[in-house]
Amino acid sequence: MAGRDGTVVCPGSYDPVTNGHLDIITRSSQAFERVVVAIVNNPVRKGQTLFTAEERRAFIEDATSELPNVEARIFSNLLVEFARELGAKAIVKGLRAISDFEYEFEMAQLNRKLDPGIESIYMIASPQYSFLSSTGVKEMATFGGDVGDLVPGSVAAAMAERLGER
Ligand code: PNS
């Protein structure tokens, strides 16, 4: 396909993956040759995760099984190091609103400082997902809200079970 070029990484905590993440991953798979969804093993800024890295990876594998050029991998080192190991030329992330901009600006500059050879590319979230976040979904599910059309079915079921255990 015209415009396809090389490997990119779509990094994140994915605790858990949402339909908004999957929109960015799917669109990336149409624009680039190979997409590695890079799952942060222990997110530094986000504290204890609801799901283990392996659980988060399995949800993504399951939800992207129809996309042959997408794979999900866990990483525990610096994102730019992981990207370099894969031969990726760019990091692709979604941008929902102005509120994301400050954080993503910092991340993009940090990653550029660490490795100027790896580009950061931002895709604007599709409007129907512009309000969606893993944190918001967890909050809704904690109080029994219906998250069925915000996350894959397997994630909704696992969240109900995990949060019910608490
Ligand atoms: O949106 P997220 O889930 O907070 O993003 C995670 C990630 C790894 C994309 C972001 O923290 C980042 O770009 N960090 C750069 C510094 C780094 O590599 N840290 C190691 C993993 S926390």
pLDDT for residue 12 = 97
Residue nearest to atom 12 of ligand 1 (CA): 107
Res 94 pLDDT > 70: yes
User: What mean pLDDT, rounded, does the chain reach?
Assistant: 94
**Nearest to 120, CA basis, from 39, 8, 5:** 8
Q: Which residues pair with 35 in a beta bridge?
A: 8, 70
Q: How far apart are the first and last CA of the chain?
A: 48
Chain segment 54-80, per-residue pLDDT in tens: 999 999 999 999 999 999 999 999 999
Pair of tokens at residue 53: 């890295």
Quote the ligand 1 centre to 79 CA distance (angstroms).
Answer: 6
pLDDT for residue 151 = 98
Quote the ligand 1 centre to 120 CA distance (angstroms).
Answer: 12
State if residue 16 touches ligand 1 by the CB under 6 angstroms criterion: no
pLDDT for residue 1 = 41
Q: What 8-state DSSP symbol labels residue 77?
A: S
State if residue 78 touches ligand 1 by the CB under 6 angstroms criterion: yes
**Nearest to 24, CA basis, from 128, 101, 99:** 128
pLDDT for residue 164 = 79
E strand residue ranges, 50-99 = 70-75, 90-95
pLDDT for residue 46 = 81
pLDDT for residue 53 = 97
Res 166 pLDDT > 80: no
- 122 neighbors 95 (Cβ within 8 angstroms): yes
**Nearest to 93, CA basis, from 29, 160, 18, 12:** 12
Q: How many alpha carbons fall within 13 Å on the CB side of residue 93? A: 21
Quote the ligand 1 centre to 111 CA distance (angstroms).
Answer: 9
- 20 neighbors 48 (Cβ within 8 angstroms): no
pLDDT for residue 47 = 85
Res 89 pLDDT > 60: yes
pLDDT for residue 2 = 45
pLDDT (average), residues 92-116: 95
Chain segment 123-154, per-residue pLDDT in tens: 999 999 999 999 999 999 999 899 999 999 99
Distance of alpha carbon 93 from alpha carbon 91, whole angstroms = 7
State if residue 103 touches ligand 1 by the CB under 6 angstroms criterion: no
Res 97 pLDDT > 60: yes
